[in-house]
Amino acid sequence: GTYPGSASAEGYTLDDGTKLNLSDKDQKWLGLKDTFHFTNLA
């Protein structure tokens, strides 16, 4: 998927277009300057 480059979950979708609804904790975690590769979501 694509990542907007901010801690907000707005605009973040998986490759199939599924929008992610993240908790505040998860959004803060995503705010870390890392690159995430979701290859298999159970």
Q: Which residues pair with 19 in a beta bridge?
A: 13
Strands (E), the chain: none
Radius of gyration of the chain (CA): 10
The number of angstroms, rounded, from the C-alpha of 25 to the middle of its chain's C-alpha atoms is 12
Separation between Cα atoms, residue 42 and residue 4, nearest integer Å: 23
| 18-36 pLDDT, tens digit each | 776 666 666 566 555 555 6
pLDDT-derived band at 16, boundaries 50, 70, 90: confident
Q: Which residues pair with 42 in a beta bridge?
A: none
What's at 11, amino acid-wise? G
- Residue 38 has what pLDDT? 59
